[in-house]
Amino acid sequence: VGEEEADLQEQFGRLDGTIEQRRETLNSIQAQLDSLLAQRRELVDVRTAIQDRLDEIADLLSRFDLLLEHYAVDIERLTAIQESGAMFAHVESVPCPLCGASPEAQQHDAACDGDVEAIVQAASAEIEKIARLKGELQATVADLKYEAVSQEQELSNKNEEYENVNKQIQETVAPTVSEERASFSELIEKRAEVQKGLDLYARVAKLEERRTTLEEDEGKEGSSGAIVSGLPDSVAHDFSLRVSK
């Protein structure tokens, strides 16, 4: 029985050492998995941010296209006013079609609602202003389109990174972690079985100690009815073999 108990103690020691080694391995692989999971979450956030920016750029470009159309219409209208005013300035003097003043009564150095030259100048100034705004807006549109191309390329790169990380998680690290956890659990269960066997031997030892104490107290040394100490050799050996499997 003593040999069987010693075998169990040896098995327990080996299992304890193996469990500690496996614990370190499991912790290392788990840390690798946690790192990859954090990296994947970060990639998801980055992809979302890029897509949000692309949506924002698309919305801005749509609005700016409408604004450019308005600028084009305004310039066309003002150009027509400018050209009409220039033509009107070269016709013969006739009564003013706007205020009705006769050619003799017209005061070309005084302002009136029909001051063609002032209208032409105002139209020209407005055309210059709109043309400047249009140029600035076109530059902004060009920058946004360039940014959109850059963001799309970045999104493509992040999508590729995400797929690689996710594939590594799904096909390599996660299965390895699951296998290590299962193996670690088996070792824990096996050590628990060995511990039960050792506890049983400890319990028997206590019973033997108690029996000895009782026998000494009662003065019945060498009693023929003494309890057989320990476990039967066949039972102890069978239990040891079962645990070591």
Please give the pLDDT value at position 157: 96
Token code pair at residue 229? 């100490």
Share of the chain above pLDDT 70, in %: 74
* CB-count exposure of residue 45 (10 Å: 0-12, 13-18, 19+): exposed
Q: Which amino acid is at 21?
A: Q
User: What is the average pLDDT score of the chain?
Assistant: 80
Alpha-carbon gap, residue 113 to 193, rounded angstroms? 108
Interior angle at CA 175, CA 169 and CA 181, nearest 5: 120
Q: Is 38 exposed, middle or buried (0-12, 13-18, 19+ CB in 10 A)?
A: exposed
The two tokens of residue 63 are 């609005």
Contacts of 145 (CB under 8 A, 6+ apart): 61
How many angstroms separate the CA atoms of 2 and 8, rounded?
10
pLDDT, greater one: 105 or 162:
162
Which residues are within 8 A (CB) of 112 and not within 5 positions of it... i.e. 6 or more apart?
A: 96, 98, 99, 101
Q: Is the pTM of this model over 0.75?
A: no
* Three-class secondary structure assignment of 79-145: HHHHHHHHHHCCCCCCCCCCCCCCCCCCCCCCCCCCCHHHHHHHHHHHHHHHHHHHHHHHHHHHHHH
The per-residue pLDDT for 202 is: 83
Q: Answer with the residue of higher pLDDT: 158 or 243.
A: 158
How does pLDDT run across 175-215, given as a tens digit for each residue?
Answer: 888 888 888 888 888 888 888 888 888 888 788 878 777 77
Q: Give the whole-angstrom CA distance, residue 130 versus residue 75.
A: 7
Are 112 and 98 contacting, i.e. CB atoms less than 8 angstroms apart? yes
DSSP state of 228: P
Residue 238 has pLDDT above 70, yes or no: no
Give the pLDDT confidence score for residue 84 in this predicted structure.
77
